Amino acid sequence: MWIRNDFLLPLLMVNGSPSTKTLTLAAYTFVGQYTSDWQYAMTAMVLAVLPSIIVFIFLQKYIVKGVVAGAVKG
């Protein structure tokens, strides 16, 4: 899951092609050097994070169970 939120490598590799941008790069297009559309950037970030939150809500029982099982010693 860590590669889903990667920013620098996709910025360097696919910055010129709009059809292959990741969600974070698409949200970054709303932030400019002289002006920034923060309402659009924050909306894009919420939409980028929403699938992870939904998956966590539905699988929370199993995630917590796996974390607790790995933390018990002996």
Q: Going residue by residue through the chain (74 aa), what tens digit of pLDDT does each one get?
A: 566 667 788 888 886 677 888 878 888 888 888 888 889 989 988 988 898 899 999 999 998 898 888 777 76
Q: What local confidence, expressed as pLDDT, does residue 61 receive?
A: 94
Give the length of the chain.
Answer: 74
Rounded to the nearest 5 percent, the helix, strand and coil shares of the chain are 75, 5, 25
Record the pTM.
0.64
Residue 57: its pLDDT value, please? 95
pLDDT of residue 13: 82
40 with 30: CB under 8 angstroms?
yes
In this prediction, residue 11 carries a pLDDT of 80
